[in-house]
Each structure stands twice: as structure tokens, then as C-alpha cells.
Chains A and B, each alone.
Chain A
Amino acid sequence: MLTIERALVEKIIAHARADHPDEACGIIAGPAGSGRPVRYVAMANAERSPTFYRFDSQEQLKVWREMDDRDEEPVVIYHSHTATEAYPSRTDISYASEPNAHYVLVSTREEDGTEFRSYRIVDGEVTEEEVSVVDAYQG
């Protein structure tokens, strides 16, 4: 299950809406091993495409370094689909390389209402998980 603060969900959706019809992407970092997404980082989609996304490699290096320095990991890796449902595509599955990450997909295909779903992708196998949106994390 992904437990995530409402404010972070809203940031992801706002980013996806802003970049529509291109795909938007980014991460939410959190303390390593905690499973708790805390620090929102919107990433540039180097492809600027409605059907593909790729983190800019220089920006990714910078962000990954920061996470290393802070003892964080990418707890959530998100991107949007702008014409199809919020379900991992074959390309998404073939690239997925963070077995500990929650892969969040949002779909902006409908103007009113944004699908927001989360998956684990391990060794090419997709498992959808429940998303629990909370006002603030407990403890």
C-alpha cells in the first residue's frame, strides 16, 4: 500500500495537468527504508512527448546525488499518461528498475477528474496497490 499526503498528490496532479498533453514525470524522495514519500521533486521530461518520458540524465544525476547525501531514496516515481489509462505500459515495465519504488501513474485523459494509481513493478511483473491519501503522516 502507498500512504501519501494529500498535498503531495495535489502537486503531482498539478504537474501532470500543467504539462498536458505531454507526459509529466518526477519523484518523491523519502528516508531510505521508510517507505514514506516526503520531498517532492518535479523532473523535466527530456522527451517532451505525449507518449514517452525520460528523466534528463544530468538532472537525474544531480537529484540522485542529493538523495545519496541525505540518505534518501526515490519512494515514489511518477509519470502521467495523457491519452490512456493510468496503467503501466510495456515500455514502463521494461524500464522499471527500482523494485522498492511505488510507481505512480496519473491519467489526464479526462478533463474533469484525474486517475491516480500506484504499482509495484518487480522483474517485469506489475502489481497494483491500494493508495491511502492522508492529511498528514502519523508519528
Chain B
Amino acid sequence: MAIEVRIPTILRNLTDGAKAVDGKGGTLDELFADLDTRHAGLRDRLVDAKGLRKFVNVYLNDEDVRFLGGLETEVADGDSVTILPAVAGG
């Protein structure tokens, strides 16, 4: 078992075109670090020095992680994580 991470079109250049990839970790932060070892550059598109980038939405089993624990949100085998670009502007 692993954690499935669904990748949006804009980031699939980092996953060889894959729509979903598997990873592991106890928190979202660890999961992103794990993914980055196989998909270099992915973490940088999701996280900056302050935490989760405001340009992306990350969902754990359909819940926006901003309303959970952000990068410290606990994850486990069998969970599903979805990444979407935020749609916003002025």
C-alpha cells in the first residue's frame, strides 16, 4: 500500500506525464519530500519557505489540507492526495 497523489496537468512534466504517482510518509511534508526523490522539482512547486504555496490547493481524501493541518497533516497508506492549481486573480 502507498499514498496515491493525483497530479494536475501543469505539473505532469515532472512525473513523465503520469496523472497519479505513489509516495510514502507520515505527514504531507514527508510525502512531498519522498515524491521529490523520484520527481525532482515537484516539492518546490508545492512548498516554499512559508509552507504550502498559495498557488496550489492540496486535498487529503477530498478535504482541503489548509483546513486540516497544512504540511503537518498526517497521512497514511491508502490515503489519496489531490493537487490542483488554485484558480484566482484580481
Q: Which residues of A contact B9 (CB under 8 A)?
A: 73, 98, 100
Q: Which residues of B contact A95 (CB under 8 A)?
A: 55, 85-89
A57 to B9, CA, bound (A): 17
Q: Are A90 and B90 in contact (CB under 8 A)?
A: yes
Q: Are B55 and A97 in contact (CB under 8 A)?
A: yes
Looking at B21-29, B32-40, B56-64, the stretch in contact with chain A turns out to be: B56-64
Q: Which residues of A contact B62 (CB under 8 A)?
A: 58, 61
| A interface secondary structure, majority | mixed
A96 to B60, CA, bound (A): 23
Interface residues of A in 87-136 (CB under 8 A from B): 88-92, 94-100
A70 to B7, CA, bound (A): 17
Quick one: given A98-B9, A98-B10, are A61 and B57 in contact (CB under 8 Å)? yes
| Complex: chain B residue closest to A88, CB-CB | B89
